[in-house]
Amino acid sequence: MFGARACTFALAIVMGRKLGVTNYGRYGFAVAVGTIVVPLADLGVTPYMSREVAHDRARGEMRAVHLLQVKIHTALGALAISAAVAALISGQVLGAAVIVVVLASMLADGTSAYVYGYFQGREQMAFEARATVLAALARGLGGIVCVVAFGLLMPVLVWMLVVSALQLAIALRRFFSIADLSRLQELAGDAAVSWGSVGALGSMTLCALIYLQADSVIVGVVYDKHAVGLYTAAYALTAGLQIIPWQVAVALAPVFARSYATSRDDFRDTWHRGLRLVLIVSLPFSLITCLLASEVMTLIFGDAFSGGTGALAILVWSSPIWATNMVVASALRGARRDRWLATTTGLGVIVNLGLNVWAIPRFGIDGAAAVTVGTELAVLLAQGWLAISRGVVPFPRLPYARLVLALMALAAVAVAGQGNEVVAVATAALCAYALVLVVSGVVQPSELRALRSLIGRP
């Protein structure tokens, strides 16, 4: 999983550096549109199916097979409608083609993610790790070759689509070879789908992705693809920081679903340890990137992207907030508080869109970044308040003072080293942070083993 996201991150860097800000912005705009369309086509069946499989294996498999058909049909319908809309409203053939090819690739990946969600529900992630890393290696290395060989955007996108289609074929083959289909007819009467829960989970996912990607769409409409390119670069770097926290949150989701039904003590222990892990990992990388934003942006993407420095310095703070929100959402989803999630994220979309319409024309991509961070924080506070005040989870036990002390040590080293080689300064600052954590006893051996296990997966 780590390798898969790292390869995707590497391809994004090469595309930005070699294709230029405008072409990268055209790609970023298409991805933003696809990020909204894909969960809309999903309807919420993926998180619902994964939770049901974790809760009750036999009946969950029945639902998984039935909902897979729904998933495929809605993905094809979304692609057809989106292609027609893109052809009608796009002023350029290339622009419409980019949107259609990117969307087809993302919808194929979304269907593969459905299969991987089934295995996550079974707490068996080895297949997903192998399949995604192989696909990411093929997509990343092949995409880099296409960039270097052709210097054009479309060959890269076509290659991505080919890899996504192959990944989907392999995932579907694996699904039907593993899923127990022998009892489907026997369990059919007891395995009805709760479409209310599906809709709640789907609307939650859709709303979250709308307020994460609507800003890129608005930037493209208000300004141009060059501005989108700068903002997409800041987003790509922020996404790179989220790799390990994302893995932790994904691993926690089925544990929450299982333990809530079987052992509330395990549920609460997972809550405390999950929050500790994601914050210990996400906070230092966000702080070091914020302090060294200019150096990091130009090091990774080049001087042409220096205009995105301000947005990066702001946007990186969405990483720890987002990671914490994923843990809170996983706990609420495991406790079957789906409507709470849907309501809070729905309100987040309304706030986000309203603020973006005001902030982006006035403050540009820096305003978009600030609105994203603010919306994430508002949703986190709302969901956290509901989870704690209604007794789903206790107030988190965290080493607050010692964690702040470690972050202060990191900041002191980073500020003192500004003007020197950025990689050396960042490494020294992170070492100071880690040293304080170890000396103060914040990091426990069991957490180190868990983290090494996540990083060491293929």
Give the CA dihedral 136, 139, 141, 144, nearest 10 degrees.
Answer: -130
Which of 219-223, 268-272, 414-418 has the weakest average pLDDT?
Answer: 219-223
Domain-by-domain residue ranges, the chain? 1-193, 228-458
**Does the structure show a pLDDT above 60 at 190?**
no
In order of 36, 209, 211, 222, 385, the CA distances from 354 in angstroms are 17, 16, 10, 15, 23
- For the whole model, what pTM was predicted? 0.74
The predicted pLDDT at position 58 comes to 67
Average pLDDT over residues 250-261: 83
In order of 42, 133, 146, 164, 352, the CA distances from 102 in angstroms are 17, 20, 16, 10, 25
Contact 210, 350 (CB under 8 A): no
Mean pLDDT across the chain: 85
The predicted pLDDT at position 310 comes to 95
pLDDT in tens, 16-31: 889 899 889 989 989 8
Residue 355 has which token pair? 């603020």
In order of 48, 85, 204, 412, 457, the CA distances from 55 in angstroms are 11, 40, 20, 47, 25
Average pLDDT over residues 100-117: 93
Q: What is the rounded radius of gyration, in angstroms, for the C-alpha atoms of the chain?
A: 22
**Does the structure show a pLDDT above 50 at 208?**
yes
Average pLDDT over residues 38-61: 78
CA distance 64 to 70: 10
Of the pLDDT bands very low, low, confident and very high (cuts 50, 70, 90), residue 458 is very low
Helix segments in 179-317, DSSP class H? 184-187, 195-222, 225-241, 243-262, 264-291, 293-301, 309-315
Please, what's the b/e burial string for 387-423 (b: 16 or more CB within 10 A of its CB; e: otherwise)?
beeeebbeebeebeebbebbbebbbebbeebeeeebe
Residue 104 has which token pair? 């087809």
Contact 52, 178 (CB under 8 A): no
Which of 86-100, 105-119, 262-276 has the weakest average pLDDT?
Answer: 86-100
pLDDT in tens, 130-157: 888 888 889 998 999 999 999 999 999 9
The predicted pLDDT at position 253 comes to 81
227 φψ region: left (φ > 0), alpha (ψ -120 to 50), beta (else)? alpha
Average pLDDT over residues 394-400: 91
Residue 41 has which token pair? 């086509």
Of the pLDDT bands very low, low, confident and very high (cuts 50, 70, 90), residue 93 is confident
